[in-house]
Amino acid sequence: MVQIPFNKPFCVGKELYYMAQAVMVDSHISGDGRFTRLCHQWLEQRLNGQKAFLTHSCTAALEMAAILCDLQPGDEVIMPSFTFVSTANAFVLRGAVPVFVDIRQDNLNIDERVIESAVTDRTKAVVPVHYAGVACDMDAIMSIAESKQLIVIEDAAQALLSTYKNAYLGTVGHFGCLSFHETKNVISGEGGALLVNQPEFAERAEIIREKGTNRSKFFRGEIDKYSWVDLGSSFLPSELIAAFLYAQLEHAEHINRTRRIIFDRYYSELQPLARSGHIRLPFISEECSSNGHLFYIITRSPEERSGLIESLKSNGVHAIFHYVPLHSSQAGRKFGKVAGPMTVTDDLSERIVRLPLYYAMTPEEVDRVVELIWNFYKPQAGQNGR
Ligand SMILES: *Cc1c(COP(=O)(O)O)cnc(C)c1O
């Protein structure tokens, strides 16, 4: 039986060649060598002039952003409950309290209409998560943030090169956090980046990333010795990672285009099942362009979801669901709190299914997944379309 995995890591070009260069030519495999500089340049120029810092993960980028927010114990940070754990953990590590709010029905992003009522005098920041690489309503969020003096940290882990009104995601808020984990679009195994969009934070970000030292200044010859000057940790990746990543960044547009083609194929082939009301498909508004990061469908009930995932699995197709909403997880209940109803989060998190989607996925593989979904619904959907 043909097996279709959920994800498959891939090379698009010179990944291994650049890694060999880091070792054999540069003789530099710790952080901040030639390939890290190339990645920084790519991110800054391609995403329009922001200061970029490569990290070993998006988790690390979120942790750096949390340190830069200067949070005091008990300070509050508003975020969706429907997200990955790192969105919350980074702030909990600083003693802050994640305040979970509901998501929108249409695109599963934070519901900007409930943010304002979750703001208290302890609120310091808000974290829009661009789910599936589709933008949150950044105009609304930035305007609330401005009126309440909140820092905006975009969790753009899934959103490299996606746009909101022509601005790249991760460059709209004060900070943007990107992921290059092997399940994302552009990958380096583990990897990430912090985009610092307000110049006044850049110098401190550089220090925090280098274990709280001013070592980067020292290497640029701006000071004659380096020492411990602030909080920090080792947030930078090795040159081996940066070399792999740079080869992928060189083909980032191509990678995203390839994923969009797979996304569009799923979309058009499943549309009749959506029209007949059996499933719901992703929604992307006019203001957003998406990088085709992930393709999901929403089933009619949690039981139907389990049935569908089982049926795909027994036919060699690995589909998955996520997230266990943070507000109902063990650590979320311990460290966070909830503002307002969680109706949409509770409902959709139990009905969502993510379908396989990876760079090397063939049209035949997409068709196979679609066929199995059609077969699952066939007893009910027989008359409709195909
Ligand atoms: C993948 C992901 C992260 C974590 O990224 P890492 O690079 O694995 O640390 C954080 N937030 C969201 C929304 C993600 O999808």
Domain for residue 386, yes or no?
A: no
Using 50, 70 and 90 to split pLDDT, how confident is the model at 260? Answer: very high
Pocket perturbation via mutation, ligand 1, pick of 131, 181, 324, 349 by most ligand atoms within 8 A of CB:
181
Domain for residue 341, yes or no?
A: yes
Nearest atom of ligand 1 to the alpha carbon of 59: 9
Using 50, 70 and 90 to split pLDDT, how confident is the model at 74? Answer: very high
Q: Are residues 181 and 264 in the same domain?
A: no
Is any atom of ligand 1 closer than 6 Å to the C-beta of 251?
A: no
Indicate the pTM of the whole model. Answer: 0.97
pLDDT at position 273, please? 97
Q: Are residues 291 and 145 in the same domain?
A: no
Domain for residue 4, yes or no?
A: no
Q: Are residues 221 and 335 in the same domain?
A: no
CA dist 65 and 208 (Å) reads 10
Q: CB 211: neighbour CB atoms within 10 A?
A: 15
Provide the CATH number for the domain around residue 377: 3.90.1150.10
**Total domains present in the chain:** 2
CA dist 295 and 317 (Å) reads 14
State the DSSP code for 228. B
pLDDT at position 385, please? 46
Range 262-282 average pLDDT: 98
Domain for residue 336, yes or no?
A: yes
Contact 122, 94 (CB under 8 A): no
322-to-83, 131, 290 alpha-carbon distances in Å: 9, 12, 20
State the DSSP code for 174. S
Percent of the chain with pLDDT over 90: 96
Q: Are residues 51 and 192 in the same domain?
A: yes
Using 50, 70 and 90 to split pLDDT, how confident is the model at 377? Answer: very high
State the DSSP code for 340. S
Mean pLDDT of the chain: 96
Pocket perturbation via mutation, ligand 1, pick of 53, 57, 58 by most ligand atoms within 8 A of CB:
58
- Give me the torsion for CA of 79, 83, 84, 86, rounded to 10°: -10
Range 354-367 average pLDDT: 98
Percent of the chain with pLDDT over 70: 98
For residue 61, report the distance from its CA to the centre of ligand 1, in Å.
10
Q: What would the DSSP string read from start to end of 96-140?
A: -EEEEE-B-TTT-SB-GGGHHHH--TTEEEE--B-GGG----HHH
Closest Cα to residue 58, out of 154, 196, 173, 177? 177
pLDDT of 294-311, one tens digit each?
Answer: 999 999 999 999 999 999
Is any atom of ligand 1 closer than 6 Å to the C-beta of 87?
A: yes
Is any atom of ligand 1 closer than 6 Å to the C-beta of 58?
A: yes
Is any atom of ligand 1 closer than 6 Å to the C-beta of 185?
A: no
For residue 159, report the distance from its CA to the centre of ligand 1, in Å.
10
Q: Are residues 29 and 129 in the same domain?
A: yes
Domain limit, last residue, from 249, 280, 311:
249
Q: Is the pLDDT of residue 47 over 70?
A: yes
Q: Is the pLDDT of residue 360 over 90?
A: yes
Domain for residue 311, yes or no?
A: yes
pLDDT of 86-101, one tens digit each?
Answer: 999 999 999 999 999 9
Range 55-80 average pLDDT: 98
Q: Are residues 19 and 113 in the same domain?
A: yes
Nearest atom of ligand 1 to the alpha carbon of 191: 7
Contact 327, 81 (CB under 8 A): yes
Nearest atom of ligand 1 to the alpha carbon of 61: 9
For residue 17, report the distance from its CA to the centre of ligand 1, in Å.
27
Domain for residue 7, yes or no?
A: no
Range 356-376 average pLDDT: 98
Using 50, 70 and 90 to split pLDDT, how confident is the model at 381? Answer: low
- The pair of structure tokens assigned to 103 is 């998501």
Q: Are residues 225 and 265 in the same domain?
A: no
DSSP H/E element including 60: helix 58-68
Is any atom of ligand 1 closer than 6 Å to the C-beta of 134?
A: no
- Which of the pair, 383 or 129, is modelled with greater confidence? 129
Closest Cα to residue 137, out of 120, 154, 121? 154
Using 50, 70 and 90 to split pLDDT, how confident is the model at 50? Answer: confident
Domain for residue 227, yes or no?
A: yes
Is any atom of ligand 1 closer than 6 Å to the C-beta of 210?
A: no
Q: Are residues 263 and 286 in the same domain?
A: yes
CA dist 136 and 156 (Å) reads 10
Identify the domain containing residue 342 by its residue range: 252-381
Domain for residue 322, yes or no?
A: yes
Domain limit, last residue, from 227, 249, 271:
249
Least confident of 109-118, 134-143, 211-220, 258-267: 211-220
Q: Would you give the end-to-end CA distance of the chain in angstroms?
A: 24
- Cα 80 from chain centre: 13
pLDDT of 165-204, one tens digit each?
Answer: 999 999 999 999 999 999 999 999 999 999 999 999 999 9
Q: Are residues 48 and 189 in the same domain?
A: yes
Q: Are residues 314 and 372 in the same domain?
A: yes
CA dist 348 and 56 (Å) reads 31
For residue 343, give the amino acid letter. T
Q: Which residues are catalytic?
A: 184
CA dist 167 and 50 (Å) reads 12
Range 117-130 average pLDDT: 98
User: Where does 276-340 have alpha helices with state H?
Assistant: 302-313, 330-335
Is any atom of ligand 1 closer than 6 Å to the C-beta of 76?
A: no
According to DSSP, the residues that pair with 280 across neighbouring strands are 298
Q: Are residues 83 and 208 in the same domain?
A: yes
pLDDT at position 42, please? 98
Pocket perturbation via mutation, ligand 1, pick of 178, 179, 241, 357 by most ligand atoms within 8 A of CB:
179
Domain limit, last residue, from 233, 249, 265:
249
Provide the CATH number for the domain around residue 166: 3.40.640.10
Using 50, 70 and 90 to split pLDDT, how confident is the model at 246? Answer: very high
Q: Are residues 191 and 284 in the same domain?
A: no
